[in-house]
Amino acid sequence: MLAGGPSRRGNALSSRVQLLLAIVGLLAAPVILLASTFSRSHPVPRAITALEINNNLVKDHKIVTPPDLLSQCEEKFFTQTLDHFDVGAPTYQQRYFVCDQHFRQGGVMFFYVGNEADVELYLNHTGLMWENAQEFGAMLVFAEHRYFGKSVPFGKDVTKHMQYLSTEQAIADYAVLITYLKGEYERDVPVIGFGGSYGGMLGSWFRMKYPHIIDGVIAGSAPILSFLGDEVPLDKGAFERIVTFDASEDAGSAPNCIPNIRRTWSVMRKLGATEQGRQQLKRAFSLCDGVKINSEKDVDDVMSWAKDAFDYMGMGNYPYPSSYIMNGVSVLPAYPVRAACSHVADEFAADDDIGLLTAFSKSLGVYYNSTHDQECFGLSASNNESALDADFWDYIFCAEIYQPQAVDGVNDMFWPIPWNFTADNEHCKAEWGVEIRPLWATTQYGGRKALKVASNIVFSNGNYDPWSGTGVLQNYSDSVVALTVKGGAHHLDLMFSNDLDTPSVLAVREAEKEHMHKWASEFYERKAAVVTE
Amino acid sequence: MLAGGPSRRGNALSSRVQLLLAIVGLLAAPVILLASTFSRSHPVPRAITALEINNNLVKDHKIVTPPDLLSQCEEKFFTQTLDHFDVGAPTYQQRYFVCDQHFRQGGVMFFYVGNEADVELYLNHTGLMWENAQEFGAMLVFAEHRYFGKSVPFGKDVTKHMQYLSTEQAIADYAVLITYLKGEYERDVPVIGFGGSYGGMLGSWFRMKYPHIIDGVIAGSAPILSFLGDEVPLDKGAFERIVTFDASEDAGSAPNCIPNIRRTWSVMRKLGATEQGRQQLKRAFSLCDGVKINSEKDVDDVMSWAKDAFDYMGMGNYPYPSSYIMNGVSVLPAYPVRAACSHVADEFAADDDIGLLTAFSKSLGVYYNSTHDQECFGLSASNNESALDADFWDYIFCAEIYQPQAVDGVNDMFWPIPWNFTADNEHCKAEWGVEIRPLWATTQYGGRKALKVASNIVFSNGNYDPWSGTGVLQNYSDSVVALTVKGGAHHLDLMFSNDLDTPSVLAVREAEKEHMHKWASEFYERKAAVVTE
């Protein structure tokens, strides 16, 4: 899951950075609009298949996702009730994969807690499950989140029935599915959950709410402290502060990167004030002919579009080339923020605004032209998330897990974008007819207070990951622990091993394995005690 | 909450003993029918008011509920969403009482986790909260369970909207209400929950699911191990086995009680085989003229009606006269099972079937003629629960917390009533259009496995209480503990103090207070740590 940017709808320049597997929830609609309006060689957003991911293997870039994982799994469907808390509700077919070749007696179930995309994406990227299957004698289960992938209720009418899309229902799906699988396979085994980003949030909440069903959870990059109402006030500016850190010398980027990027905003605003300036800006940025830059508002949109690139590159700031942030369709280079910063590494003379913007445009190309085949920029998002997935994420955000954000332009390299609850709420009302419940996530899931009584959750966070700022960064007990992946971005530890893995991510994976072994042992000890009692 | 008896609808003589504050879910409809058909001087079932309870104080019987508790409280209403997991759902008004005169800084909130009746009943009977308010500096909150008392959504159309009646929604109501109250009163204080019977079940589940909101729970007589699918098979026969224990010499009843009661069933069946016998039976039992005993099926109904009396007297087998089991309207004597057994204490000659039945009829009168004003029995239930409350309990039972029971006639003093899932399910389908999910309660709430990871719950059970057999009777940790009230029935420890309290219940209340103090201290220690971090 990744971040989006602030809403660019209307004047609602609020600070809503979204939590998405692969992108910009609120930008989805404008993206589609632009993509169909302006000609450019950019893949149309669509669902990703494993075949595509494998076809996109770029071996010389050291992307080494093992091929053909899907063929090692059985695709299955399970009849779930849409409302677990209302026995009379209709049902839907939940998809899941079982990859069973490594299971043995005394083994475990590794359970991927699906998040907001086609579950094949997680199946193909969650190397931590695959690479430990043999050692743990694990059957792998990848469960798809309701409303995503092939687990969509009501077919084409799905958007008329949004009320069943909720975190509580999704977690209850997993509880029911695991209960069913234990019976169906006649395997009373420990269950270890894995989830990244929103999947990590769901995974940690799953353990808190159903500890009798899931024995422990590896929660990668799960920003469960991103809500209002906790006992410590929310750090709303964390996300962009860490994006900015990624562009700093301390994170390996060019020393001039941050000052140059800060300067671009004022340059853009200055140029944006006149028609002549806007045309200069358009040329310097290599925007496509069809893109209209006719007002200061249009320039604001360009600024947000530029900022989005850094939001996503920050999340995808991995030590090797990866297609994950791009939903498997294209590849970002190793440390994309460093790559982007390399284009603005020089000092630009005070009168060389155009030189700066031209260079900055190349920075943005690291993200928006990751396919290396675009001749101009169309202001669309570029991460290939499907429009429907983006909409569904937006619904979840509006309905349950509202994550306020703010940008101050002081602790980060952007411009002030104050938190604007009213604008966010207006968006949610207009789009979905729902009012945000700002305290709901903390009421339901408990924030720090819940962590103090939880058990068996490993929270991992990369210090390059903008979401780490609202993740769990301290131990709460021997079994609720925080692991830091130094030099890692969004749930790097869940990915397949890579020659360019840092020592830190290797150490984190080893520590995670220790916890997993402990959870499995505890399960079998408890089970033995029951039998003999 | 109390037990009902097996369903007497049609031929479905299954073993469904129900968990009700004040009674017989499945019997409600027949009860109403009979009550309107047959003349007898019995109060019509209706909601109970505190005034009625107080009017029923029987001082010479040592019922010493302090008068006028309601006047010490403020009645309030809170706008709750009917579906916490669907932001667009409609709302309803949840009633609660705040009794605030003992609160002080550094104090606590005592929160009654409402169950299946008008919350005034709990307000008037939960002495443990009132009597400790001053020592703890506690504000008392009594929250009404949705669909009961004055917290009924949709007014007269409520039965058309049953889908919002669920344990998860009820618990979420309490989570939201407490969060609101802490803000409204500006009191960041520990919250200690209290609940008896189904309220104790909800309370313990509330702590398991929302430990960040409720700091500890006193769960009186909460049979949370009464479900299928747990790691240890359900003891389906526990309820009637303990009713039988209550009628034994070990529990203070007449030695001849159990053998005489066993004999009554075969006598009834023998007499029931002929028209002449049925008329003898009717006379011996003092059944009203209007009661038709025309078939063996009618005799089966009389047997079930007789058994129900012992089910309820078992739950209400308190050491002093109490109106609690009778919903505050009438009073059962001290140790009502002993009182009932005293009428069948003699040996009856082998040819004195009629003498036995006549005596047994007097046993039943302890329960069915607790008002001492009935000239004959009408085969109705007698505990004054409202028909609507009984229906709502039946819905909860069918929708979520299906508690299978079986009677074997060997370990208990009744006749074999095997568990019959099919019949139970047919009932639920016919009545509510819902199919029972036999594993749901264990999937959602976890049974023994959940207890192993829970914290801060005191489970108390009286060994005279038939529900204790599926309650928590062993410690699971230092903070999930089981306390036994020797000689106590259904959540005796939650009641007001009484001169006739046993040493055991006094000790249990002291132990509960120790846990409550510990929970409060832990809260303030954690809070201090947050402030200084």
Q: Which amino acid is at A76?
A: K
Per-residue model confidence (pLDDT) at position B386: 78
What would you report as the CA-atom Rg of chain B, rounded to the nearest whole angstrom? 23
Task: Answer yes or no: is pLDDT of B54 > 60.
Answer: no
Per-residue model confidence (pLDDT) at position B222: 98
Domain-wise residue ranges, chain A: 1-533
* d(C-alpha A49, C-alpha A51), whole Å: 5
DSSP class of residue A490 equals T
CB contact under 8 A, B212 and A450: yes
Q: Provide the token pair at A200.
A: 């990590």
* d(C-alpha A19, C-alpha A225), whole Å: 13
Per-residue model confidence (pLDDT) at position B37: 23
pLDDT band at B389 (very low <50, low <70, confident <90, very high): confident
Task: Answer yes or no: is pLDDT of A526 > 70.
Answer: yes
The distance of B81 to chain A (nearest Cα, Å) reads 11
* d(C-alpha B120, C-alpha B250), whole Å: 36
Q: Which of B79, B82, B83, B87 to mutate to probe the A interface, most A CBs <10 Å?
A: B87
* pLDDT tens string A348-400: 999 999 999 999 999 999 999 999 998 999 987 666 677 888 899 999 999 99
In B, which residues are within 8 Å of A446 by CB distance? 210-213
In B, which residues are within 8 Å of A83 by CB distance? 85, 163
Percentage of residues in chain A having pLDDT higher than 70: 86
* pLDDT tens string B132-155: 999 999 999 999 999 999 999 999
Alpha-carbon dihedral of residues A229, A233, A234, A238, nearest 10 degrees? 180
* pLDDT tens string A134-164: 999 999 999 999 999 999 999 999 999 999 9
Q: Provide the token pair at B379.
A: 């085969």
Per-residue model confidence (pLDDT) at position A380: 79
Q: Which of B163, B395, B443, B523 to mutate to probe the A interface, most A CBs <10 Å?
A: B443
Highest mean pLDDT among A33-42, A44-53, A128-137, B321-330: A128-137
Interacting residues of B130 by C-beta distance below 8 A, sequence separation 6+: B66, B69, B99, B140, B496
pLDDT band at B275 (very low <50, low <70, confident <90, very high): very high
Average pLDDT estimate for B375-384: 80
* pLDDT tens string A416-434: 999 999 999 999 999 999 9
Task: Answer yes or no: is pLDDT of B422 > 60.
Answer: yes
C-beta separation of B78 from B61 below 8 A: no
pLDDT band at A175 (very low <50, low <70, confident <90, very high): very high
Question: How long a stretch of residues is chain A?
Answer: 533
Q: Which amino acid is at A71?
A: S
User: Which residue has 């029987």 as its token pair?
Assistant: B58
Please classify residue A9 by burial: count the beta carbons closer than 10 Å to its beta carbon, then call 0-12 exposed, 13-18 middle and 19+ buried. middle
Interacting residues of A259 by C-beta distance below 8 A, sequence separation 6+: none
Percentage of residues in chain B having pLDDT higher than 90: 82
Q: Which amino acid is at A162?
A: M
Helix (H, G, I), strand (E, B) or coil at B486: coil
**Residue A180, CA distances (Å) to A175, A185, A188, A213, B319 in order:** 9, 9, 11, 11, 46
CB contact under 8 A, B434 and A88: yes
CB contact under 8 A, A443 and B169: no
CB contact under 8 A, A179 and B209: no
* pLDDT tens string B442-492: 999 999 999 999 999 999 999 999 999 999 999 999 999 999 999 999 999
**Residue B115, CA distances (Å) to B201, B289, B517 in order:** 9, 38, 25
**Which residues on neighbouring strands pair with residue B287, listed in sequence order?**
B377
- Give the number of other Cβ atoms within 10 Å of residue A274's Cβ: 12
Q: Which of B80, B86, B160, B431 to mutate to probe the A interface, most A CBs <10 Å?
A: B86
Q: Residue A88: which of B163, B209, B446 has the nearest Cβ? A: B163
Please indicate whether residue A197 is annotated as part of the active site: yes
Please indicate whether residue A465 is annotated as part of the active site: yes
**Which residues on neighbouring strands pair with residue A219, listed in sequence order?**
A195, A459
Report chain A's mean pLDDT, rounded to a whole number.
88
**Residue B456, CA distances (Å) to A275, B380, B452, B511 in order:** 68, 41, 12, 13
C-beta separation of A427 from A399 below 8 A: no
pLDDT band at A66 (very low <50, low <70, confident <90, very high): low
Backbone angles phi, psi at B374, to 5 degrees: -95, 135
| Comparison of pLDDT for A82 and B16, the residue scoring more | A82
Per-residue model confidence (pLDDT) at position A287: 96
CB contact under 8 A, A89 and B399: no
Interacting residues of B67 by C-beta distance below 8 A, sequence separation 6+: B54, B57
CB contact under 8 A, A166 and B212: no
pLDDT band at A532 (very low <50, low <70, confident <90, very high): low
Lowest mean pLDDT among A205-214, B59-68, B132-141: B59-68
Percentage of residues in chain B having pLDDT higher than 70: 86
pLDDT band at B186 (very low <50, low <70, confident <90, very high): very high
* pLDDT tens string A252-268: 999 999 999 999 999 99
Task: Answer yes or no: is pLDDT of A5 > 70.
Answer: no
| CATH architecture for residues B1-533 | 3-Layer(aba) Sandwich (3.40)
Average pLDDT estimate for B158-163: 95
Backbone angles phi, psi at A519, to 5 degrees: -60, -40
A-B Cβ pairs (cutoff 8 Å, strict): 108
* pLDDT tens string B253-264: 999 999 999 999
Report chain B's mean pLDDT, rounded to a whole number.
88
Beta strands, E only, A381-491: 457-462, 480-485
Task: Answer yes or no: is pLDDT of B26 > 70.
Answer: no
**Residue A213, CA distances (Å) to A184, A217, A515, B10, B210 in order:** 15, 11, 17, 39, 17
Task: Answer yes or no: is pLDDT of A63 > 50.
Answer: no
Residue numbers of B annotated as active site: 197, 465, 490
- Strands B138-143, B108-113: pairing is parallel
* d(C-alpha A56, C-alpha A66), whole Å: 12
Please indicate whether residue A100 is annotated as part of the active site: no
C-beta separation of A281 from A295 below 8 A: no
Per-residue model confidence (pLDDT) at position A411: 97
- Strands B216-220, B191-196: pairing is parallel
Reported ipTM: the value is 0.88
* pLDDT tens string A71-122: 999 999 999 999 999 999 999 999 999 999 999 999 999 999 999 999 999 9
Per-residue model confidence (pLDDT) at position A388: 84
Q: Which of A197, A204, A342, A382 is catalytic?
A: A197
Helix (H, G, I), strand (E, B) or coil at A389: helix
CB contact under 8 A, B86 and A163: yes
Task: Answer yes or no: is pLDDT of B528 > 60.
Answer: yes
Interacting residues of A460 by C-beta distance below 8 A, sequence separation 6+: A218, A219, A220, A221, A482, A483, A484, A485, A491, A493, A508, A512
